[in-house]
Amino acid sequence: MAGSYEKILSKLSKLSGIEEVEIDRRVEAKRSKLSGLISREGALQVIAAELGISFDNEKLKIDELLQGMRKVHFTGKVISISPIRTFVTKSGEEGKVVNLMVADETSNIKLVLWDTNHIKLIEEGNIREDVSIEVMSGNMRQGEVHLGSFSELGLSKEEFPEVKTEKLVKVKEIKEFNVGEKVSSRAFIVQAFMPRFFNANLETGKKVTDEEIAAGTPFEKRAILNIVLDDGTENTRAVIFHENVKKLGITAYEDEGLLNKQKDSLLGKEFVFDGNFRMNSYFNNPELIVDSVGEINLDRLIEELEN
């Protein structure tokens, strides 16, 4: 299945009359000029702008939405709605925000509503699970579509008998990771830091409070491991939690000396890492939040190399 880049590349080629190979060459030249600090998808949008072509409010499928797009336009079916949350702004005013998951036949995406008029559609029951909606002038941020007061949201008559409810995992090299994507990559561990620990509430998985401990709430000690991955194209920080930490052989939680040896033994080992590539807001750098760690299937790897 063609990815977002390939689909937009095809659209741009048809609109501009320039061969896909030539546009792709320009994309790589642009990335090279910017020392690789821009993704292929971002460079593609720059090339489109230079050609005088804009995808603003052009209706796209969900799997065609690219990081950084503004004024995105799409339709889809609401598959879930999170509880509406309230917050207080820096000026002391109260605001609301709500997250929806919206899907079509190609993929699904999180839709974040900040405007009270849009949220009112949910509060009044007009927008609910299993209804079709249309979004216009949304902004792509970290793989999510955010709607503000200048965005449009309404019901759609379009029907979606079959939708993708699972997030598509994109097998990619690290240099092609885009913030907001769910990715899978084969990479080596080139740096590992000492794990950090916290006591987790067994029911919620969150850090247990002193009050919960005093009340006899069951908890267990869990680990968070930070590592650096490298696949030969680029490197990235990754964060691994609990069960996946144990899968890597980090088990000596109570023995610091052995724990350090287990941590050092990871260096140079290769695994398949699946997870979400997100922006760490505290350090302002992207990192892979690992969902699963897998051993390398040598038979499959040999087959792929032969093909």
C-alpha–C-alpha distance, residues 144 and 25, integer Å: 28
C-alpha–C-alpha distance, residues 209 and 217, integer Å: 9
Lowest mean pLDDT among 130-134, 175-179, 224-228, 252-256: 175-179
What's the whole-number mean pLDDT along residues 177-205?
88
> 293 and 174 in one domain?
yes
C-alpha–C-alpha distance, residues 202 and 221, integer Å: 10
* Torsion over CA: 25, 31, 32, 33 (sign): positive
Beta bridge pairs of residue 201: 219
> 179 and 300 in one domain?
yes
> 148 and 67 in one domain?
yes
> 300 and 276 in one domain?
yes
> 242 and 185 in one domain?
yes
Q: For 149-158, what is each residue's pLDDT tens digit?
A: 999 999 999 9
The more confidently predicted of residues 169 and 225 is 225
> 254 and 149 in one domain?
no
Last residue of a domain, one of 12, 36, 51: 51
C-alpha–C-alpha distance, residues 235 and 269, integer Å: 14
- Least Cα distance to 118 among 87, 77, 152 occurs for 152
The more confidently predicted of residues 248 and 169 is 248
pLDDT for 114 equals: 94
> 206 and 88 in one domain?
no
Lowest mean pLDDT among 3-12, 105-114, 208-217, 233-242: 3-12
pTM of the full structure: 0.63
- Which domain, by its residues, includes 147? 58-164
CB 208 within 8 A of CB 217: yes
Q: pLDDT category, 304, cuts 50, 70, 90?
A: low
**Per-residue three-class SS string for the chain:** CCCHHHHHHHHHHHHHCCCHHHHHHHHHHHHHHCCCCCCHHHHHHHHHHHCCCCCCCCECCHHHCCCCCCCEEEEEEEEEECCCEEEECCCCCEEEEEEEEEECCCCEEEEEECCHHHHHHHHCCCCCCCCEEEEEEEEEECCEEEECCCCEEEECCCCCCCCCCCCCCEECCHHHCCCCCEEEEEEEEEEECCCEEEEEECCCCCECCHHHHHCCCCEEEEEEEEEEEECCCCEEEEEEEHHHHHHCCCCCCCCHHHHHHHHHCCCCCEEEEEEEEEEECCCCEEEEEEEEEECCCHHHHHHHHHC
pLDDT value at 292 more than 50: yes
pLDDT for 123 equals: 96
Counting the structural domains of the chain, the total is 3
* pLDDT cut 70: percent of the chain above it: 94
pLDDT value at 148 more than 50: yes
The more confidently predicted of residues 67 and 271 is 271
Tokens (6 digits) for 267: 């260096």
What's the whole-number mean pLDDT along residues 49-74?
87
> 296 and 201 in one domain?
yes
Q: Which residues contact 6 (CB under 8 A, 6 or more apart)?
A: none
Residue 204: which CATH number? 2.40.50.140
CB 68 within 8 A of CB 55: no
Give Cα separations from 26 to 3, 23, 45 (angstroms).
19, 5, 11
> 107 and 228 in one domain?
no
Last residue of a domain, one of 164, 183, 202: 164
Last residue of a domain, one of 51, 68, 84: 51
> 110 and 191 in one domain?
no
> 199 and 269 in one domain?
yes
> 270 and 218 in one domain?
yes
Q: For 222-241, what is each residue's pLDDT tens digit?
A: 999 999 999 999 999 999 99
To the nearest whole number, what is the mean pLDDT of the chain?
Answer: 88
pLDDT for 39 equals: 75
